[in-house]
Each structure stands twice: as C-alpha cells, then as structure tokens.
C-alpha cells in the first residue's frame, strides 16, 4: 500500500505528523525524511496522529522512538494519538511510551496545553 505523510503546523513549534498506510522497513525512511526538518531546537511538540496507520513494524517504532529522543533533547514532547486497535496493541506490547499515548486529539490537546504552559513558566 505504501505510505502518505502529511505534516501540519498546529501552532508555533507544534507539528502534527499524520502518516497514512503502512510504516515498515521501506516506508520508515520516508517518515524519517518528513520528520527530520521538524527536529529543531524551537520544536516544542510533535504529535503523531496514527489514525490512518494500519501496520507498523519495528523499524517504524524505531523512527518514533528516535523522534521522541530528539524532541526531548530540546525539552519538547512527543504525543501519539488515534491509534487503531491493532497498532495500539503493538505499542502496549513494547511498553515504552504509554504516557504519551492518547485515544483522541482532544486528550492530546489537554496534555499539550499543560506541557506548553509548564514550558513557558520555565523559560
């Protein structure tokens, strides 16, 4: 099926990455390429909206974990939302970033509002 990736700016320093299709050993390179320009010191948050992802391999998970590390290095955060049930099971099995998994964009927004408010206080 392949992978299509849209990137949108939610607000200054906050990006929504919405892949559609399969994230596997081939398409993970495309995903990395789409994310790379977002990994700036000014990036406060990257939101992965996985509502249209129907498969993710270990290579796809690796891209997400690398993104998390890069964003957190600059004191930002990574949020994952709208997982299909079988994709959610993959994340639950890995047990690495459950505190960043949200069922909906509304839940993610609540978390981000708190995170960004705290980030501003620290500045």
Identify which of 82, 26, 72, 22 has the alpha carbon closest to the alpha carbon of residue 45.
Answer: 72
Domain ranges of the chain: 1-74
- Taking the C-alpha atoms of residue 44 and residue 61, their distance in angstroms, rounded to an integer, is 21
Do residues 69 and 40 make contact, with C-beta atoms less than 8 angstroms apart? no
Q: Which CATH superfamily groups domain 1-74? A: STAS domain (3.30.750.24)
Q: Which structure tokens are listed for 31? A: 């995903």
pLDDT in tens, 43-82: 999 999 999 999 999 899 999 999 999 999 999 999 999 9
What is the per-residue pLDDT for 37?
97
Q: Which structure tokens are listed for 14? A: 């906050």
Residue 99 has pLDDT above 80, yes or no: no
Do residues 7 and 40 make contact, with C-beta atoms less than 8 angstroms apart? no
């Amino acid at each position: 099926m392949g992978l299509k990736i849209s990137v949108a700016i939610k607000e200054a320093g906050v990006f929504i990455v919405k892949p559609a299709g399969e994230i596997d050993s081939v398409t993970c390179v495309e995903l990395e390429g789409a994310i790379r320009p977002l990994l700036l010191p000014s990036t406060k948050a990257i939101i992965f909206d996985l509502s249209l992802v129907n498969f993710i391999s270990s290579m796809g998970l690796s891209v997400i974990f690398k993104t998390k590390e890069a964003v957190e290095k600059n004191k930002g955060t990574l949020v994952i939302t709208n997982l299909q049930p079988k994709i959610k099971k993959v994340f639950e099995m890995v047990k690495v970033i459950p505190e960043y998994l949200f069922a909906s964009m509304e839940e993610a927004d609540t978390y981000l509002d708190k995170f960004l408010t705290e980030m501003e206080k620290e500045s």
